Structure 1
Amino acid sequence: MRAALTPIIGQQGVIALYRRSLHLCASTHPRLACTYDNLQTPMDLIELKTVLVEQDESDAQFFGEMLLTTLYELLTTLIGPSLTARLLRGVWQPSLSETPSQENSP
């Protein structure tokens, strides 16, 4: 995601988006607050992985999903859904429960 977004919003923009996503996840889901508090550096994905490994599997998966979903939603509000989808096409896979747009016929 970082490689796809840096040319558009810059390195500092990517870091800000990541940090804002972390903050929103922690404030929306109190059980994630301790995970957020344990992340000290601006965007250290190794540190994030280390913190997630310390969680039980369901909490780590929940936090990861919430973080990615929040980041995607924030990016959509900044640059729009079409550009977000195009930029993240190679890294963001829609949920298996979502129906592709061409299959949404009445």
Structure 2
Amino acid sequence: MEVALTPVIGQQGVVALYRRSLHLCGAAHPRLTSTCNKVPSGMVLTALNSVLVEQNEADARFFGEMLLTTFYELLTTLIGPSLTARLLRGVWDSSLSDTHSQENSP
């Protein structure tokens, strides 16, 4: 997502959107507050990954879904639904095809 969005909103814009998404996830879902607070500032995905592996699978999945949904909704309010869908279409398509192949593997 960072690669797709940086040309449009800049690297600082992507980081700000990510941080805001983390904040809103914690505010909307109190069970995520401690997880959100553990994620360091900046968009360092390895740091996010290290926080997620500490969670059980259900909590990590819930957190990821809420974070992505919130990020998408914030971006939509910033640049509109049509541009958001066009920019992230390749990201979602790639992500969905990766998940599908993992689910079908023996």
Same fold, judged at TM 0.5 (above): yes
What corresponds to 1:6 in structure 2? 6
- Counterpart CA distance in 2 for 1:41 and 1:73 is 20
User: 2 CA distance for matches of 1:69 and 1:92?
Assistant: 12
Cα RMSD after superposing both structures? 1.2
List runs of 5+ in structure 1 lacking aligned partners. Answer: 96-106
Question: What is the distance in 1 between the residues matched to 2:92 and 2:23?
Answer: 21
Counting helix residues as a fraction of each chain, which structure ranks higher? 2
Task: Report how far residue 85 of structure 1 moved.
Answer: 0.2
Which residue in 2 is equivalent to 1:38?
Answer: 38
Q: Normalized against structure 2, the TM-score is what?
A: 0.86
Post-superposition CA distance 1:63-93 (Å, at most 9, x none): 0000000000000000000000000001125
Given residue 68 of structure 1, which amino acid in structure 2 is its aligned partner? L
Q: Mind listing any 5+ residue stretches in structure 2 that lack a counterpart?
A: 97-106
Cα separation, 2, equivalents of 1:45 and 1:74: 19
Identity of aligned residues (%): 71
Aligned residue in 1 for 2:17: 17
